[in-house]
Amino acid sequence: MSPETLTKTGTPFSIDRFDANVMTTYGRFPIALERGEGSRVWDTEGREYLDFVAGIATCTLGHAHPALIEAVTRQIQKLHHVSNLYYIPEQGELAAWLTQHSAGDRVFFCNSGAEANEGAIKLARKYAHDRLNIEDPVIVTAHASFHGRTLATITATGQPKYQKGFSPLVPGFVYAPYNDLAALETTIAEIDKDGRRVAAILLEALQGEGGVRPGDREYFQKIRQICDEKGILLILDEVQVGMGRSGKWWGYENLGIEPDIFTSAKGLGGGIPIGALLCKSSCDVFEPGNHASTFGGNPFACGVALAVCQTLERENLLENVQKRGEQLRNRLEAIATQYPSLVAEVRGWGLINGMELRADVELTSIEVVNAAIAQGVLLVPAGPKVVRFVPPLIVNEAEVDRACDAVEKALATLSPS
Ligand SMILES: *Cc1c(COP(=O)(O)O)cnc(C)c1O
């Protein structure tokens, strides 16, 4: 065992010891990762994997990227945390970058996707109270959505499995099926009939956790129109699909619309925790004291996130995302054709892609992920029937090919014939 596999206390890594001390909130695959470089990671046994999970769509620059190392080192030596009692130059610079590269005019920084969505929910409610005189504002969200694990965001999440056991949930949320305009219109009409009012519609431009389901252009364009007509805020959760993963900076650019409010987190810091809530200046109803976060917008996270943004731009990585995404989808389509009895569909944008397994076979996404791990590739389920591919945005052509070769072999081991 190499010295790297020893913890600080000199104890070799042990899954049993880990499980004895860490709450079992996660179903973990039985490998422990300790080192990474580019699109590759190594486990404590020294085995190498191609990382097509990237910390679930966070490590946009991959692992140990020189620009990330430089930014982390520089910022920790200079200043890592103060307080929002004072002006923080890095926070201002990152906010300026974000507003220059998005539909947003104003930014609030926090630490995670759930926290950004909590902020969006609070902002929409305050807007409804202050500007629209709505007593009891309703936010409509979608079935199969995912917005986080806090109480308000599990309530916003239209999947009962995340809510089970945690009642009472937060009031004020109503659900409608995704990509179904008629159903959404009916839902809004029913809320109106009840004498309540819809303050906001909260959606993902592409549903990530819910099965890698891209938003339908026509559906979103019609929603934008409805929101404009009725004075409803359109909130987009860009936590997973935003920050370049779709091949454009923001998922909504694939839909030809702009939101009033949107959120970012996963890819924003390239794996360093940071979240952001953005809005048009017309929606910014927050006043001093309305919302806060101790760590939100600290010099460390903001300095690093700014370096990540600038690196994505300088290295022209959006183009890489588009090209590698197309290559990945083409290969996965070919694999789907090769295994029509297992694979139903391949879909996605840029470097967020899903391979849906056929409903009429017993094969689950976890079984495919396990088989891929055995072939040296890390993948992540997006629900019981969809395997998700979210590699670092720096992934190269040979790595995409190698990952697809491994998936092909993995499916061969699972195929009955
Ligand atoms: C991951 C995710 C979240 C939650 O982000 P956390 O950082 O885990 O709180 C919210 N929305 C979407 C779309 C996500 O993919």
State pLDDT tens for residues 41-88.
Answer: 999 999 999 999 999 999 999 999 999 999 999 999 999 999 999 999
**CB distance 284 to ligand 1 below 6 Å:** no
- Tokens coding 363: 């094969």
Residue with CA at minimum distance from ligand 1 atom 5: 113
What burial class does residue 18 get, using C-beta atoms within 10 Å of its C-beta: 0-12 exposed, 13-18 middle, 19+ buried? exposed
In 3D, which of 159, 294, 146, 160 has the Cα closest to residue 206?
A: 146
140, two tokens: 């409509």
Phi, psi (deg, nearest 5) at residue 204: -90, 140
Answer whether 146 contacts ligand 1 (Cβ < 6 A): yes
Q: How far is the CA of 163 from the centre of ligand 1 (A)?
A: 15
303 lines ligand 1 (CB under 6 A): no
Q: Which atom of ligand 1 is nearest to the CA of 115?
A: 9
The domain spans of the chain are 3-64+317-414, 66-314
Amino acid at 368: V
Task: For ligand 1, atom 6, name the residue with the nearest CA.
Answer: 113
> Which of 239, 243, 274 to mutate for ligand 1's pocket (most ligand atoms within 8 Å of CB)?
239
DSSP state of 42: E
Element (H, E) at 123: helix 113-132
Any ligand 1 atom below 6 A from CB of 204:
yes
Q: Report domain 66-314's class.
A: alpha beta
| Atom nearest to 237 CA in ligand 1 | 13
Q: Is 278 helix (H, G, I), strand (E, B) or coil?
A: strand
**Distance between CA atoms of residues 107 and 123, nearest Å:** 12
Cα–Cα distance measured from residue 265 to residue 119, given in angstroms and rounded to the nearest whole number: 12
393: its two tokens? 């945005």
How many angstroms separate the Cα of 171 from the Cα of each of 163, 174, 200, 258, 262?
13, 9, 14, 27, 21
239 within ligand 1 shell (Cβ under 6 A): yes
Which portions of the chain are predicted below pLDDT 70? 1-10, 417
pTM of the model: 0.97
Peptide bond preceding 137: is omega within 30 degrees of 0, i.e. cis? no
Residue of 115, 162, 240, 243 to mutate, ligand 1, most atoms within 8 A of C-beta: 240
Asked whether 240 lines ligand 1 (CB < 6 A), one says: yes
Residues that are catalytic: 146, 237, 266
Query: Topology of 3-64+317-414 in CATH?
Result: Aspartate Aminotransferase, domain 1 (3.90.1150)
**Whether the Cβ atoms of residue 60 and residue 243 lie closer than 8 Å to each other:** yes
Tokens 């239209």 -> residue: 158
Q: Could you tell me if 263 and 113 are in contact, meaning their C-beta atoms sit under 8 angstroms apart?
A: yes
Q: Helix, strand, coil % (nearest 5) of the chain? A: 40, 20, 40
First to last CA, the chain: 40
Alpha carbons 236 and 138: distance in angstroms, whole number:
16
Cβ of residue 112 lying under 6 Å from some atom of ligand 1: yes
pLDDT for 6:
53
Write down the residue that tokens 């079935």 correspond to: 143
Q: Per-residue DSSP letters for 127-180?
A: HHHHHH--SSEEEEEEBT----SSHHHHHHSB-HHHHTT--S--SSEEEE-TT-
Closest-lying ligand 1 atom to the alpha carbon of residue 266: 7
